[in-house]
């Protein structure tokens, strides 16, 4: 894919964005999310308990967070929660959305419109990390629309009132399950709402990756498979690639 912009100007914009994100004071409505419990841990609703959702939820639960797995197969989710241990439980997607301070979507992209409709307003005011990728050959028209508009921008339009972040979009699920065993080696690009970046970064670190903020939702289009930031990179490599890109 052709990379746009000059490295110097793009790098300045990236540093300006990440500096602003780091300086933001979390809004009052998000204070409880940022703090979690007294231990700093969070309640996380996982919607989609396939390879990605189960890998992420398993590591987060073992790190001390409370996790609820959900999908269309509640019995499978119950078995998964029992396998993960004391910090995991199972429920319906609506129950997971109500339970979580942070929600994680890990479902085929074609299912997102109906899923989001079924959740009502339960996601509003919450951080939503979307690990689902729009693949037109698999997901049809909604994926084509997301690719045309930009996946992060499209997500934000589907989830009004949520703090949307894209992460875990272009690394193998096996790495998500094992990176914590040798943490701090692999960078993970994240892009999204500035108010949610700190929380998303915390969760990325717990998985074992180094979070690298590349911008807002308009930069999330570069996190998909087949784009410059896809695959395994060091944090320095991600910053170097991101500096050549523009919204």
Token pair for 238: 């991600």
Model pLDDT, residue 111: 96
The model's confidence at residue 40, banded by pLDDT at 50, 70 and 90, is confident
Domains belonging to the chain, first-starting first, are 28-185+196-212 (3.40.50.720)
CA-to-CA distance for 215 and 192, rounded, in angstroms?
Answer: 7
CA-to-CA distance for 146 and 190, rounded, in angstroms?
Answer: 17
Lowest model confidence (mean pLDDT) among 37-41, 72-76, 86-90, 201-205: 37-41
70 close to 77: Cβ distance less than 8 angstroms:
yes
pLDDT, average across residues 135-160:
96
Instruction: Render pLDDT for 165-191 as a digit per residue (tens, 0 to 9).
Output: 999 998 888 889 999 999 999 999 999
pTM score of the predicted model = 0.86
Instruction: Render pLDDT for 100-120 as a digit per residue (tens, 0 to 9).
Output: 999 999 999 999 999 999 999
Greatest alpha-carbon pair distance for the chain in Å reads 53
């Amino acid at each position: 894919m052709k990379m746009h912009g000059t490295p110097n100007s793009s790098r300045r914009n990236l540093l300006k964005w990440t500096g602003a994100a780091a300086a933001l004071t979390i809004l009052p409505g998000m204070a409880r999310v940022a703090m979690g419990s007294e231990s700093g841990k969070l309640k996380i609703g996982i919607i989609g308990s396939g390879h990605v959702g189960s890998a992420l939820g398993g590591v987060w639960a073992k790190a001390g967070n409370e996790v609820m797995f959900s999908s269309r197969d509640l019995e499978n989710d119950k078995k998964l929660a029992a396998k993960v241990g004391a910090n995991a439980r199972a429920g319906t997607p609506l129950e997971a959305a109500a339970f979580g301070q942070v929600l994680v979507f890990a479902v085929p992209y074609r299912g997102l419109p109906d899923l989001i409709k079924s959740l009502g307003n339960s996601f509003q005011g919450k951080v939503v990390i979307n690990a689902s990728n729009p693949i037109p050959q698999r997901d049809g028209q909604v994926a084509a629309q997301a690719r045309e508009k930009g996946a992060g921008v499209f997500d934000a339009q589907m989830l009004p009132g949520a703090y949307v972040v894209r992460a875990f979009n272009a690394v193998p699920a096996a790495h998500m399950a094992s990176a914590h065993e040798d943490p701090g080696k692999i960078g993970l690009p994240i892009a999204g709402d500035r108010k949610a970046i700190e929380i998303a970064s915390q969760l990325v670190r717990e998985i074992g990756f180094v979070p690298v903020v590349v911008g807002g939702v308009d930069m999330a289009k570069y996190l998909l498979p087949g784009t410059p930031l896809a695959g395994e990179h060091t944090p320095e490599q991600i910053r170097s690639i991101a500096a050549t890109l523009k919204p």
